[in-house]
Amino acid sequence: MKSYTCPSCGAELICDATTAATSCPYCGNPSIVPGQFSGMLRPDYVIPFKVSREDAVKALKAHYNGKPFLPKAFKSKNHIEEIKGVYVPFWLFDGKAEGNITYEATRTRVYRSGDYEVTETDHFHVYRAGSLSFERIPVDAASKMPDDHMDSIEPFDYSELKPFSTAYLPGFLADKYDVSVEDSQERADRRCRETLENSLRDTVHGYTSCVPITKNIHLKRGKVHYALLPVWMLNTKWDGKDFLFAMNGQTGRLVGDLPISWGKCFGTAAAIIAVVTAVLTTLFMLV
């Protein structure tokens, strides 16, 4: 925990060790926690919020539409427990992946010869090589943020990156990083490697099956930048359980889980079974 004094009303406040910007619970004024964004802790860039709080709430409610198994009471009532705009710390990695993959591929042909069905399978060795360069691969640097949510709200439009200034922070929360570059590098490396592998695989066409048998992928690490990116965190509660949603505060992309009405699921399944049973019974009677 970290203590500091509100510059507006003088109240002594306590916050998490990673909190860098918040608001005073006594006077409501936004404040920057001293020392959290200075020296090596100062971000290089920030992307300002473009999606408002009201738009975030509307988008969440619109997300409920078209969900047939969503409990009716959940959809009709406001179950948003908390909504907060957070500048989440991210490492932005540059790099390059190059390498080659050899695949064992098959091409199968089935035909009839007299009374027999013949299957012919030809085997091939397929070789692919290539390279890809990457700029600003985002990896969230806050341990309390769910990685799957942060990955799923991508992409961000980096053309709107601004040199960091605390002037963008009032009205929002902000955290400093607590996951180091070294601990985040492997996630960036994995994305580079998998992206190259998928790109090479996508060039292989015309085969029944294709399985990689050898891989030689080499990574070259480049520059790393520290940025604060805008995220709306929306927490809803239903039937004693918390459901967390994350929204890209720049593009509005929303991800999260919804509760399921098992009664609706079972009812739909029962209706389908009844229809299938009726059809099969009719067909059986006609035979």
Q: Domain residue spans in the chain?
A: 37-256
Residue 153: pLDDT above 70? yes
Half-sphere exposure of 261 (CA within 13 A, CB side): 13
The predicted pLDDT at position 64 comes to: 72
Task: Please say whether the beta carbons of 87 and 46 come within 8 A.
Answer: yes
The predicted pLDDT at position 4 comes to: 65
Q: How would you classify the pairing of strands 2-5 and 12-15? A: antiparallel
Question: pLDDT tens digit string along 3-55?
Answer: 667 777 776 666 677 887 777 765 667 777 777 787 878 999 999 999 999 99
Mean pLDDT of 213-237: 94
Q: What are the backbone dihedrals phi and psi of residue 174, each rounded to the nearest 5 degrees, phi first?
A: -150, 140
Nearest alpha carbon to residue 156 among 227, 229, 76: 229
Q: What are the backbone dihedrals phi and psi of residue 269, each rounded to the nearest 5 degrees, phi first?
A: -65, -40
Question: pLDDT tens digit string along 126-136?
Answer: 999 999 999 99
Q: Confidence class of residue 221 from pLDDT cuts 50, 70 and 90?
A: very high
Nearest alpha carbon to residue 82 among 240, 241, 236: 236
Question: pLDDT tens digit string along 111-127?
Answer: 998 889 999 999 999 99
Mean pLDDT of 67-87: 69
The span from the CA of 21 to the CA of 168, in Å, is: 10
Residue 173: pLDDT above 50? yes
Nearest alpha carbon to residue 163 among 227, 253, 251: 227
Token duo for residue 285: 């009677």
Place of tokens 């300002």: 48
In angstroms, the first-to-last Cα distance of the chain is: 77
Mean pLDDT of 173-200: 95
Q: Which residue has the higher pLDDT, 262 or 240?
A: 240
Mean pLDDT of 167-181: 91
Residue 190: pLDDT above 50? yes
Nearest alpha carbon to residue 231 among 162, 147, 166, 134: 147
